[in-house]
Amino acid sequence: MPITIIIPVLDEASQIEECVRHVSWADEIVVADGGSRDDTVAVARGAGATVLEKTGPTIAAQRNSAIAAARNEWIFAIDADERIPDALREEIAATMLHPRHAAYRVRRRSFYLGREQTRGRWGRDWVVRLFTRERRYVLRRVHEGLEPVSDVGSLKSPLAHDPYRDLSHQLEKMNRYAYLGAQDLYDQGRRANLTDLAGRPLARFLRAYLIDGACRDGLAGLVEASLGGCTAFLKYAHLWALERRVRA
């Protein structure tokens, strides 16, 4: 298929081979490495991908480097923990034959510790992933998104997403992304206060557990909602610590 798949990675040796081989139907696969300390680069090359090394400190910068290197007009962006099912692949191919929009969004079908999540933010997780190569990602450390596009269509088939290998992996990612999010807030002039540290984590837990319906998922829902609240607390705790470090 005349499309370039771009994949930003950092220390993904355990799953990058499967990810690359899963999209071997594409004309080009570009893996943008952010400075991995494991065998990610070698494994990705061995699987058949073109690898760009040390492409930037953020996922957005990595994706932009991969887009700039792409030889095809159309780009589909995935992460190492995502897979394109056959139905989505066929829909992408049909869409590219007669595109009606400048970019397309897709719903992520997410799994949490082996169970599909259909409620809360997981159940309404839409991301813009199919676009032409003149587009670029906004340079943020976390929650990177494609630059605003006025004409965005929607694909019907979902993208499979399995973000955590286990609970320990989730906790590691929670802390890493919370710190990066705190850095973004600090650069924007934000400072942590009592409401941020106490109110926001509680509000996030209550929203996930009661409003979004995690309470109907039993103990799994309780764990998910609680960890969401912990993520909010960690982000603002890191923001508070950044301010103290600058003052010291």
Six token digits for residue 208? 């996930």
- Please name the residues in contact with 248: beta carbons below 8 A apart, sequence gap of 6 or more: none
- Which stretches of 126-218 are assigned E, i.e. beta strand? 126-132, 152-154, 159-161
Question: What is the maximum span of the chain, computed from C-alpha positions, in angstroms?
Answer: 59
Asked whether the beta carbons of 71 and 133 are under 8 A apart, the reply is: no
pLDDT recorded at residue 57: 83
Average pLDDT of the segment spanning 154-168: 93
What predicted TM-score, i.e. pTM, was given to this entire model?
0.88
pLDDT recorded at residue 247: 74
pLDDT recorded at residue 248: 61
pLDDT recorded at residue 146: 93
Instruction: For residue 146, give the DSSP letter.
Output: B
Give 175-192 pLDDT, tens digit per residue. Answer: 999 999 999 999 999 999
Average pLDDT of the segment spanning 143-165: 92
Give 44-96 pLDDT, tens digit per residue. Answer: 999 999 999 988 888 999 999 999 999 999 999 999 999 999 999 999 999 99
Closest C-alpha among 66, 94, 86, 88 to residue 4: 66
CA distances (Å), 155 to each of 23, 36, 38, in order?
18, 32, 35
Average pLDDT of the segment spanning 116-125: 78
- SS3 at position 106: strand
Amino acid letter, 240: W
pLDDT recorded at residue 19: 97
Asked whether the beta carbons of 6 and 32 are under 8 A apart, the reply is: yes
Instruction: For residue 67, give the DSSP letter.
Output: H
Band (pLDDT 50/70/90 cuts) for residue 216 is confident
Q: Among the listed ranges 18-22, 101-105, 215-219, which one has the minimum average pLDDT value?
A: 215-219
Six token digits for residue 207? 């929203």
Q: Which helix (H) or strand (E) holds 114?
A: none
- SS3 at position 29: strand
